[in-house]
Amino acid sequence: MSCAPSDYETAHGSPKDASRPEPTPDSASDVTCCVAASTPHKRVALHLPSLRGSILPPSAFTVTIENPRLQASQNFCLLLWLMNGGAALSYELCVAEAPFRLFKDRARKFAIRYQNYLDVSTPTGHGEHTLTDDHPGYTVSVFPQILQCTALDRFRMDTLLPAYARQFQRVFDSYHARSFPAKALYLRANVSRLLQGYVNDTLYDVACKWTSWAKIVDEPANANMFQLLLSEFWTSYFVVQVDGSLPQFARRVDGDGHRVDGDSDGCRRNRHNCANYKDSPIASCARPALRYGVWVDTSNGILLFCNSQLDSRTHATPTLGLALDPKATESTVLKLLLFVNLCILECCSSELR
């Protein structure tokens, strides 16, 4: 069941040294292999009693969301909060508190909450008991714990992920250095291609971690998990459109036939892997899957991020609009990677089985 070297690895780079010792079952849930450079932040584990519950996002933010269906989705509220400056974003890669918690929660059919799988820290000057809705002081890594470096990686994620971040930044910087229409052609040719490469590599790493972890803890796992994740990611969870019609993009984010309306298929096509499935035809899933979309306007230099709930009557909702400002390239890349990585969490939380 382990992920052997494949044609994919041959084409996209070699995995880490295969001679690394296999972790034991006792350490499979905790083993990590890299530590980031020192930072002025203190680790705060999300599973501590003082941070349990609906800490993120703050309730004062959640109540401002007018749509009741979206307000009821803690994952969407957290995404909206993070994308709109609720916490400082970083590229930090360090020792994760529980890198394989997503796998364990998925195997046990626990409710999936994004905040449990993110790397969150607070400034050194803030104690756990001084964090409030008005002064959260959070810093969140755009790389979820499952993407951080562990002994089950197929790639050196501590090298691969920063390399992708630099490449995205280079693309946006180069866009500003060109004149129209060359700049539009450049952005059109590079953004979707780079996104595809990033998603392929990260999902491949997650799939290999999943099959290796499943073998260690004696859980069944699909030998073709990478192909499944990749297909479902682009079919059911993520839309990227470069230029074209904005209404067409909104319809694609709506789901183009994947949505539940009355007694239609929708979530029932995934009944076998939906831990929160209910028989109600209107609300067929207690945690409706989020669909993610990025629209790139190359002529005007705009990124539009949208979401919808596949299994409800909620239509495409703008999450954030960004103008490609040459002075804010790093912020743009951070938010783009956060958006894509949360979609990867969404896909894996539903499709890993």
Encode pLDDT of 130-169 as tens digits. 444 444 578 999 999 999 877 777 788 889 999 999 999 9
Residue pair 82/331 in contact (Cβ under 8 Å)? The answer is no
Residue 261 lies in a domain: yes
Residue 127 lies in a domain: yes
User: Where residue 96 falls among pLDDT bands split at 50, 70, 90?
Assistant: low
Residue 5 lies in a domain: no
Query: What would the mean pLDDT of 98-123 be, rounded to a whole number?
Result: 84
User: Where residue 179 falls among pLDDT bands split at 50, 70, 90?
Assistant: confident
**CA atoms of 151 and 96, how far apart (whole Å):** 12
Residue 109 lies in a domain: yes
How many structural domains is the chain composed of? 1
Nearest 5°: the CA angle 234, 237, 240 is 60
Task: Output the furthest CA–CA distance in the chain (Å, rounded).
Answer: 58
pTM score, whole prediction: 0.77
Residue 92 lies in a domain: yes
User: Where residue 31 falls among pLDDT bands split at 50, 70, 90?
Assistant: very low
Strand 120-123, strand 139-141: pairing: antiparallel
Look at the block and give the residue holding tokens 């890594």.
Answer: 141
Q: What is the pLDDT of residues 82-93, one digit of tens each?
A: 999 999 999 998
Which of the two residues, 14 and 278, has the higher pLDDT score?
14
Nearest to 305 by CA among 260, 229, 249: 249
Count Cβ atoms within 10 A of the Cβ of residue 109 and give its class: 0-12 exposed, 13-18 middle, 19 or more buried.
exposed
User: Where residue 246 falls among pLDDT bands split at 50, 70, 90?
Assistant: very high
pLDDT of 93:
86
Q: Is the pLDDT of residue 127 over 50?
A: no
User: Where residue 314 falls among pLDDT bands split at 50, 70, 90?
Assistant: low
Residue 220, preceding bond cis, omega within 30 degrees? Answer: no
Q: Is the pLDDT of residue 322 over 60?
A: yes
Residue 39 lies in a domain: yes
**CA atoms of 199 and 283, how far apart (whole Å):** 30
Range of the domain at 211: 23-351
Nearest to 331 by CA among 82, 137, 111: 82
Nearest to 346 by CA among 271, 288, 294, 259: 288
Q: Is the pLDDT of residue 270 over 90?
A: no
Residue 178 lies in a domain: yes
